[in-house]
Amino acid sequence: MKNTYLKDFHEGRSLDAYRHFGAHPEREGVRFTVYAPNAQAIQVIGSFDEWECEGHEMKKVDERGTWSLYIKGAKVNDSYKYRITQATGRVVDKMDPYAFYSELRPNTASVVEDLSYDGWEDAEWLKGRSKGFDRPINIYEVHIGSWMKEEDEDFVNYRKIAGRLIDYVKQNHFTHIELMPLCEYPFDGSWGYQCSGYFSVTSRYGTCHDLMYLVNEAHKAGIGVIMDFVPVHFVKDDFSLSYFDGTALYEYPRAHDADSQWGTANFDLWKEEVRSFLMSAASFWIDVYHVDGLRMDAISNAIFWHGNKQLGVNEGALDFIKRMNFMLNEKYQGKIMLIAEDSTDFPNVTKSTLEGGLGFDYKWDLGWMNDTLKYLEKDPIYRKWHHNNITFSMAYFYSERFIMEFSHDEVVHGKKTIVDKIWGSYEEKFAQLRTLYLYMFTHPGKKLNFMGNELAHFREWDEEKQCDWDLLKYPMHDAFHRYFAKLGELYSKTPALYETEYDWTSFQWIDADNADENMFSYLRKNENSYYIVILNFSPNAYKKHAFGVPEKGVYHELLNTEQDIWGGEITELGKMKAVEKECNKLPYTIEVDVPAFGGVLLELKKRKKPVKKAVK
């Protein structure tokens, strides 16, 4: 191991620690390397020697705590652990923190793996990918184990499910798949958010090469892949990182700081070797598995101590986040997406680190999600008093680059699903659901939906059960599914809805103050087109309702949420001619029939101004 590498590792500047630590096949055996500065002794035990430890004592290769051993005869697919005599004298068997693969739970040994893969066919995709600021981004969040499976399957397989999943994603006009955490984890019910192996793809769903196959197939189909990544906390199970060498090596030394609200241990993000570990783990998934971005979980718990603003800013953790994001962007030439799940109002999360920000590209708009769903839970009689729940998002939208999201967190633990949260009867719920999604897809910001949302799932998500695909046998669910796909198609083919969405000039309220009618109307625009969006969250229909528009011309109805093909009663889309009459402080007026609980999307192509010929 080169001293230059160890220097970077101990300075917290390594992005490729996995190339040196862990188990690496060499010649006729395997080299094992681990960092455990306070261990008294370490032995490698494994299936290559019937789990005997005699003769497999590791040696310290530097004074700062790196141990290494080459074992002739060890090979790929052998399972192994480190038997550590800790600083306290206790002897414990630990998994390899840098293992690339692990035994299927409840077993906990690490497995020697060869990550070389000759199946990659995505060179052009990798060359052309970007952060997508001026592209449509419509993300399908997936728990791979419960999306779709056969009745007799305990676990699906990455490779076997790839074709079905990718075809479905394309048919529904999603642009990216976001995979919930696939780092190894011991408890199924944690959904991967309580990790043990940060470099080890979970063995529940197949091999390392199986996951590479899935990502490669997605790229061949023009679909990006985002990985959920958990850089804040880890499981306390004794076989894992917890008190690895008998001291607080990965966690904070004070229990008050180390103990998280989830029963896990918080990483000590002030420690340079921990920074190198996590930065390398983040880089690992981009480098080895070709993922196009990382959605980083629980960033609020990195910004503030325990995620609590009253406890103050965690400056060391912020330094880590800034450094990680900066170095990832440097290594991958600014082409990968870094997404923060952050519920705080901490500023400049998506501002460049060079300008004092945290360096993320996008942030989930959890405020928009909460406000919108709270509004729709209310009886329409009372919505007028909560009108700002809908309008407030545009008061802060341009402070960050937001993703509008309805994620897995919104459909579990007794919260009800998206459709079931909405006030009203079965039919009224669906009418408002269609209008809600028109709002989502025309609101500035990229989009994310958890699997099942597109089916109008009534059952809360359960990681042990697949999506309720039988819902598509019911006309209302089938119609909504087709409607959802149509919205995705409209969004992806309408540049005014995505190209300049983080520029305030692309959005304009027509009427943000019509609380009495539970009505909202706004304008999306670019240099070629105007799009008028009208949302009615009241049970009253309005005939020939006047709305102000910026130019004269004929406004064509692109979509009406109450069309019969979506489950409503309207058979034909209309067109409205603007007259020169001021309305809503705009110079022209159109009259629109607005259905009860309905939404309307209108388009006007801008007239091109004649080009004056130069006089000779």
- Identify whether the C-beta of residue 323 lies closer than 8 Å to the C-beta of residue 270: no
Instruction: Report the alpha-carbon distance of residue 453 to residue 456 in Å, rounded.
Output: 5
- Identify whether the C-beta of residue 357 lies closer than 8 Å to the C-beta of residue 349: yes
Instruction: Report the alpha-carbon distance of residue 603 to residue 554 in Å, rounded.
Output: 9
SS (H, E, C) 222-269: CCEEEEEECCCEECCCCCCCCCCCCCCCCECCCHHHHECCCCCEEECC
Instruction: Report the alpha-carbon distance of residue 28 to residue 531 in Å, rounded.
Output: 66
Encoding tokens for residue 341?
């799940």
For 305, which DSSP code? G
Chain centre distance of CA 488: 18
What residues contact residue 356 under an 8 Å CB cut-off, 6+ apart? 348
**Exposed e or buried b for every residue in 399-422, given b needs 16+ CB within 10 A?**
ebbbbbbbbbbbbbeeebbbbebb
- Identify whether the C-beta of residue 419 lies closer than 8 Å to the C-beta of residue 429: yes
Which among 458, 464, 411, 602 has a CA at the least distance from the CA of 521?
602
Give the count of alpha carbons within 13 A of 272, CB side only. 10
Would you please indicate which residues are annotated as catalytic (active-site) residues?
A: 297, 341
What residues contact residue 106 under an 8 Å CB cut-off, 6+ apart? 186
Instruction: Report the alpha-carbon distance of residue 369 to residue 317 in Å, rounded.
Output: 27
Q: What are the Cα distances from residue 511, in Å, to 30, 395, 519, 547?
A: 68, 14, 8, 8
Instruction: Report the alpha-carbon distance of residue 502 to residue 135 in Å, rounded.
Output: 12
Which among 399, 343, 337 has a CA at the least distance from the CA of 369?
343
Instruction: Report the alpha-carbon distance of residue 561 to residue 527 in Å, rounded.
Output: 27
What residues contact residue 306 under an 8 Å CB cut-off, 6+ apart? 260, 261, 266
Encoding tokens for residue 359?
């360096």
- Identify whether the C-beta of residue 512 lies closer than 8 Å to the C-beta of residue 582: no
Whether the bond into 380 is cis, omega within 30 of 0? no
- Identify whether the C-beta of residue 215 lies closer than 8 Å to the C-beta of residue 169: no
> Which residue spans within 550-605 are E strands per DSSP?
554-560, 575-577, 588-594, 599-605
- Identify whether the C-beta of residue 339 lies closer than 8 Å to the C-beta of residue 360: yes
What is the SS3 assignment for 504?
helix
Name the CA radius of gyration of the chain, rounded: 27
For 177, which DSSP code? E
Place of tokens 């690490």: 110
